[in-house]
Chain A
């Protein structure tokens, strides 16, 4: 729209320049002089009046009033004097404008603030996107315009002024670019060099995007805080200040260090306290609930019981030396259901044999409570004696889960020991305290302990002390334990076989025994015991040197294991029959019949096997007639014993007939196969061609 035209389009609306309507305040020479400026202004400001201001006046643009809001006769006057307003053509700038989607994505993804958690507000994103899009257009137009100006020759054109005019006039998008040409130029150049980032206000800049100097300072403080020597804050401040002096950093005090330590606790904790503590105290932990029934989850560990006992030994000079600060170790097998101490074993030190004894104690206790050797579904332990104990854990349970090294929190037995210590041990006069690692200040009076040391229990008395603690624990929880087991799902009640029990826990003194006619005779604690098995396979290995595993608490059974471990047989202690008939009692005849029936069946098995061998051998010789005159054949046919064993003639006759039938069947089978082969060859060749050429 030209200077002579009262019309101007802006914000996609048709406006009329006010100076073409007013009669004062520097009206246009061709003004219609319809109203004073003040009146018109009041009308535009009044909510009751239809006149609406389209744009306020400024240094580079005039005040406009919406054409359609003018009274009709004013509109007619305008049209009469200045013609109908023309629809605006797209501006030069408009033609080149393109929305920059990459800018939008950049600002959408932009994060700032501490740890980069904040994002830009939506209106800011829109504004920055518009700014970027307009600047893109501006740079494009600038180049074209520069080329155009060159073609004009000696014409002076203020390039940036013209660009600024275009940018200011371009209000299709809500950009916020500077209206001043110089400011616009600076912004455009900065944008051209630094891209989208240059459009972002300082207040949206990253808190971590500190000057490199500040980052170095914090990194130094953090590194000192991390040190495993656990320096106190004043010491760190002193170290820091010693460096600050050299590099002109401001000095700091211990409080600054303390503040920083609070902020970076997660990072520095590992350095100051170790990874184990970090995992146990700081990192996320899995929360688990206890099992819903007994025998589902056992955990075990050893603990040096906090009860002193006195021990007297002799030194090399033969003098008695008594020590008073000895402590026994207990391995407890704990059922996680209600923290029931299902098994335990006590010794001077924790070792694999003690752990095994604790497990045996657990299995036996389970038998006492529930009537059978039930096995736990899962066992958890630490990694102590892993190589020795893992096979036992795996044999004893369906699942074995070792605790991660240093993962104390995963074992519920650690707090259980603390509970025992607090509830029981602390009550006893020979209590040794809460342990150094606990850091507790509530320790027994060392002076008093020294005074009463002579009354400390002996080794055996200490054992009884500890046993009474466990018994007390059991008494408190046993009823609940038994009831819960009765209600438990049957699928979780898996029994350990007697064989497995003996193999895991049985004693074996390393000496082997061979099977005799009477059975296996074993000397145990000076007494002879005879064991045997009714499994026929046992008698098939008369030359095996068996290792015998037994349980001193139950010698009714034993386990025979071959030297390579591949064969195992459960043995029973032999039933002793009275020699004299008059001394026979109930059960004797049943036991006798059992033996007789066993032997009878074994003999039948032997005979059957011999008969089968005979049939196989006979068939073999039939199929291989070239062996008819061999010595083996003659020997074997004679060795059937037909001419010796008259008593078994009938049986042998039946066997012979059966053999003949088998022979015929075999011959028939062989013939059929041979016939097929002959037929095959016969159809391949006409032998008459060879016989009668």
Chain B
């Protein structure tokens, strides 16, 4: 990473801190950057003394992390567009944050759910905590992730940990924050985790927002478990029944994104390739970067070249 980029990132990070009110330490925690590194970066001192007259250059990875977190865009190959899904997600999350609601947001894969959640997190870094649910995560794992994000020490038992989590969120509320806890890819939550959501709901409802984001599999899972009368699920369902928000289907004409593409054949070709916004991003960003680098217009041939596409292999 060149020096200029590093400086840009540092400058933007400072602005980010100023705008969001997040502390330097919190930013360091959230990005996983050591506090002394963060301090140096923000002061635009990218070499750290290592003792005995030695210095260590702060690795690029730390700048990348910081850049990702603050939404630093080094190039403009992907603009955020106000898709219906983004608008809906931000509106729902904002409302939940303001009033301490619990919401379940479901949408197709590649609709921009995680992207939207990250935007939200970037705006409210001090009191927004996002946990990505892993496919193998059990309840203990999830609780540990939450505890880590909240940066609290807790007891040994699950019950104690959940209580501590609830207490922390309530405490943040009392301190003037508007805490929001987001579970992304919540379709991977199993029955014990979903049942414990009911506990969290009861503990923090009105104090902190609780958001479960996932594909329609999430609501299908909840419904399936509810019909089987699994412990805790009917109760949880009762509480979130009218808090479920379904995102609209993706507009696969991708009008918002492809209006700038002048070549209709390219537009058509891209439409035939991409099934959702995520895929569209994965197509456009490298293609645009290469087009810029090669000073070529974007054509079907360039797309195939950049993406190494063989039409016969595509599936």
**Out of B71, B84, B91, B94, which one reaches A693, CB within 8 Å?**
B71
Q: Are A681 and B88 in contact (CB under 8 A)?
A: yes
Interface string of A652-693 (1 = CB under 8 A from B): 000000000000000000000010011001101101011101
Shortest C-beta distance, B193 to chain A (Å), equals 25
Q: Does B25 contact A (CB under 8 A)?
A: no
Q: Are A625 and B122 in contact (CB under 8 A)?
A: no
Q: Are A691 and B82 in contact (CB under 8 A)?
A: yes
Q: Does B80 contact A (CB under 8 A)?
A: yes
Q: Are A626 and B249 in contact (CB under 8 A)?
A: yes
Q: Are B122 and A685 in contact (CB under 8 A)?
A: no
Which residues of chain A have C-beta atoms less than 8 A from B249's C-beta?
624-626
**Out of A625, A687, A689, A690, which one reaches B252, CB within 8 Å?**
A625
A689 — nearest CB in chain B belongs to which residue? B123
Which residues of chain B have C-beta atoms less than 8 A from A624's C-beta?
249
- Assuming the contacts A625-B252, A693-B19, asked whether A685 and B90 have C-beta atoms less than 8 A apart, the reply is yes
Which residues of chain A have C-beta atoms less than 8 A from B92's C-beta?
681
Q: Does B287 contact A (CB under 8 A)?
A: no
Q: Are A677 and B248 in contact (CB under 8 A)?
A: yes
- Assuming the contacts A625-B249, A625-B252, asked whether A690 and B84 have C-beta atoms less than 8 A apart, the reply is no
Q: Are A678 and B119 in contact (CB under 8 A)?
A: no
Q: Does B279 contact A (CB under 8 A)?
A: no
Question: Which residues in chain B, 59-105, are within 8 Å of chain A measured between CB atoms?
Answer: 71, 80, 82, 84, 86-88, 90-92, 94-95
Which residues of chain A have C-beta atoms less than 8 A from B108's C-beta?
626
A678, B85: Cα distance in complex, Å: 9
B120 — nearest CB in chain A belongs to which residue? A690
A684 — nearest CB in chain B belongs to which residue? B91
Judged by DSSP, the binding face of A is helix
Q: Are B123 and A678 in contact (CB under 8 A)?
A: no
**Out of B71, B87, B252, which one reaches A681, CB within 8 Å?**
B87
Shortest C-beta distance, A630 to chain B (Å), equals 14
Interface string of B241-262 (1 = CB under 8 A from A): 0000000111010000000000
Shortest C-beta distance, A217 to chain B (Å), equals 79
B81 — nearest CB in chain A belongs to which residue? A691
Q: Are A678 and B248 in contact (CB under 8 A)?
A: yes
Which residues of chain B have C-beta atoms less than 8 A from A690's C-beta?
90, 119-120, 122-123
A678 — nearest CB in chain B belongs to which residue? B84
A246, B302: Cα distance in complex, Å: 137
Shortest C-beta distance, B157 to chain A (Å), equals 38
Interface string of B118-146 (1 = CB under 8 A from A): 01101100000000000000000000000
Interface string of B185-227 (1 = CB under 8 A from A): 0000000000000000000000000000000000000000000
Which residues of chain B have C-beta atoms less than 8 A from A691's C-beta?
80, 82, 119
Which residues of chain B have C-beta atoms less than 8 A from A689's C-beta?
123
B89 — nearest CB in chain A belongs to which residue? A681
Q: Are A687 and B84 in contact (CB under 8 A)?
A: no
Q: Are A687 and B86 in contact (CB under 8 A)?
A: yes
A682, B92: Cα distance in complex, Å: 11
A677, B82: Cα distance in complex, Å: 14
Which residues of chain A have C-beta atoms less than 8 A from B119's C-beta?
690-691
Shortest C-beta distance, B251 to chain A (Å), equals 9
B245 — nearest CB in chain A belongs to which residue? A681
Give the number of chain A interface residues (Cβ < 8 Å): 15
- Assuming the contacts A677-B88, A678-B87, A693-B71, asked whether A684 and B248 have C-beta atoms less than 8 A apart, the reply is no
Q: Are A693 and B82 in contact (CB under 8 A)?
A: no
A312, B119: Cα distance in complex, Å: 107
Number of A-B contacts (CB under 8 A): 50
Shortest C-beta distance, A627 to chain B (Å), equals 11
Interface string of B149-183 (1 = CB under 8 A from A): 00000000000000000000000000000000000
Which residues of chain A have C-beta atoms less than 8 A from B19's C-beta?
693
Most buried by A among B71, B87, B248: B87
Q: Are A687 and B122 in contact (CB under 8 A)?
A: no
A685, B84: Cα distance in complex, Å: 12
Which residues of chain B have C-beta atoms less than 8 A from A625's C-beta?
249-250, 252
Interface string of A500-537 (1 = CB under 8 A from B): 00000000000000000000000000000000000000
A382, B180: Cα distance in complex, Å: 79
Which residues of chain B have C-beta atoms less than 8 A from A674's C-beta?
84, 248
Which residues of chain A have C-beta atoms less than 8 A from B94's C-beta?
684-685
A290, B290: Cα distance in complex, Å: 107
A687, B83: Cα distance in complex, Å: 10
Which residues of chain B have C-beta atoms less than 8 A from A684's C-beta?
91, 94-95
Shortest C-beta distance, A633 to chain B (Å), equals 15
Which residues of chain A have C-beta atoms less than 8 A from B16's C-beta?
693
Q: Are A693 and B123 in contact (CB under 8 A)?
A: yes
Interface string of B9-23 (1 = CB under 8 A from A): 000000010011000
Interface string of A623-646 (1 = CB under 8 A from B): 011100000000000000000000
A684, B122: Cα distance in complex, Å: 19
Shortest C-beta distance, A47 to chain B (Å), equals 109
- Assuming the contacts A625-B249, A691-B80, A693-B71, asked whether A681 and B91 have C-beta atoms less than 8 A apart, the reply is yes
Which residues of chain A have C-beta atoms less than 8 A from B90's C-beta?
681, 685, 687, 690
Shortest C-beta distance, B273 to chain A (Å), equals 14
Which residues of chain A have C-beta atoms less than 8 A from B123's C-beta?
689-690, 693
Q: Are B87 and A687 in contact (CB under 8 A)?
A: yes
A61, B84: Cα distance in complex, Å: 123
Which residues of chain A have C-beta atoms less than 8 A from B250's C-beta?
625
Which residues of chain B have C-beta atoms less than 8 A from A693's C-beta?
16, 19-20, 71, 122-123
Shortest C-beta distance, B91 to chain A (Å), equals 4
Which residues of chain A have C-beta atoms less than 8 A from B248's C-beta?
674, 677-678
B88 — nearest CB in chain A belongs to which residue? A681
- Assuming the contacts A684-B94, A693-B19, asked whether A678 and B88 have C-beta atoms less than 8 A apart, the reply is yes
A626, B106: Cα distance in complex, Å: 14
Question: Which residues in chain B, 1-41, are within 8 Å of chain A measured between CB atoms?
Answer: 16, 19-20
Q: Are B71 and A687 in contact (CB under 8 A)?
A: no
Which residues of chain B have C-beta atoms less than 8 A from A682's C-beta?
82, 87, 91
Which residues of chain A have C-beta atoms less than 8 A from B87's C-beta?
678, 681-682, 685, 687
A211, B140: Cα distance in complex, Å: 98
A681, B71: Cα distance in complex, Å: 24
A625, B111: Cα distance in complex, Å: 13
A30, B86: Cα distance in complex, Å: 136
Which residues of chain A have C-beta atoms less than 8 A from B88's C-beta?
677-678, 681
A678, B91: Cα distance in complex, Å: 10
Which residues of chain B have C-beta atoms less than 8 A from A677's C-beta?
84, 88, 248
Question: Which residues in chain A, 113-143, are within 8 Å of chain B measured between CB atoms?
Answer: none
Which residues of chain B have C-beta atoms less than 8 A from A687's C-beta?
82, 86-87, 90
A684, B108: Cα distance in complex, Å: 23
Which residues of chain A have C-beta atoms less than 8 A from B80's C-beta?
691
A674 — nearest CB in chain B belongs to which residue? B248
Which residues of chain A have C-beta atoms less than 8 A from B20's C-beta?
693
26 contacts between A and B (CB under 8 A): A624-B249, A626-B108, A674-B84, A674-B248, A677-B84, A677-B88, A678-B87, A681-B84, A681-B91, A681-B92, A682-B87, A682-B91, A685-B90, A685-B91, A687-B86, A687-B87, A687-B90, A690-B90, A690-B119, A690-B123, A691-B82, A693-B16, A693-B19, A693-B20, A693-B122, A693-B123
Chain B residues packing against A (C-beta within 8 Å)? 16, 19-20, 71, 80, 82, 84, 86-88, 90-92, 94-95, 108, 119-120, 122-123, 248-250, 252
Q: Which 9 A-B pairs have the closest CB atoms?
A: A681-B91, A684-B91, A685-B91, A690-B119, A678-B84, A691-B80, A681-B88, A681-B87, A685-B94
User: Given known contacts A674-B84, A681-B92, what 8 new A-B pairs fall within 8 Å (CB)?
Assistant: A677-B84, A678-B248, A682-B87, A690-B123, A691-B82, A693-B19, A693-B20, A693-B123
